[in-house]
């Protein structure tokens, strides 16, 4: 799994460097599907150790933080905007979830938020 993540990150990095060299904003040039895939790569790297590969907390995380909720829980992601999910990534939660404000750009945090949203059930109209 780590090799897959490393290859995906390297591919995305080359692609983003090309966009930057062309003077194009990083995520503005990406389609929603490409943004979701970038979000997935970042999620796996920064979030999955506790929140699980598909948004269901790992056993070890639940043993330490039993209140941790799965992203697939009905209403959980629907009740939050992309900005509010990105804000949690930016600032962290207490001493347990590290802030990523010095590690990730706002666009990357929003890409993670869109990926997290994709893990929940579809919104009901």
Domains and CATH numbers, the chain: 33-119 (1.10.760.10)
Whole-number pLDDT of residue 83: 94
User: Which residues neighbour 80 within 8 Å (Cβ) at sequence distance 6 or greater?
Assistant: none
Q: Element (H or E) spanning 12, and its range? A: helix 2-21
Q: How confident is the model at residue 60 (pLDDT cuts 50, 70, 90)?
A: very high
Strand partners, 97: 93
pLDDT tens, residue by residue, 66-111? 999 999 888 888 888 999 999 999 999 988 899 999 999 999 999 9
User: Which residues neighbour 19 within 8 Å (Cβ) at sequence distance 6 or greater?
Assistant: 25, 26, 29
pLDDT tens, residue by residue, 20-42? 554 445 545 556 555 558 899 99
pTM to 2 decimals?
0.69
Give the separation between CA 24 and CA 11, rounded to whole angstroms.
Answer: 17
């Amino acid at each position: 799994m780590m090799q897959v993540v490393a290859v995906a990150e390297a591919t995305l990095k080359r692609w983003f460097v090309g966009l930057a060299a062309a003077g194009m904003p990083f995520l503005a040039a990406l389609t929603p599907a490409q943004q979701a895939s970038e979000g997935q790569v970042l999620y796996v790297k920064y979030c999955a150790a506790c929140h699980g590969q598909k948004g269901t907390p790992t056993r070890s995380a639940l043993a330490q933080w039993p209140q941790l909720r799965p992203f697939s829980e009905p209403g959980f992601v629907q009740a939050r905007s992309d900005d509010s999910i990105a804000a949690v990534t930016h600032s962290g939660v207490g001493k347990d979830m590290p802030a990523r404000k010095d590690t990730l750009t706002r666009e990357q945090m929003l890409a993670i938020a869109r990926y997290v949203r994709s893990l929940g059930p579809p919104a009901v109209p």
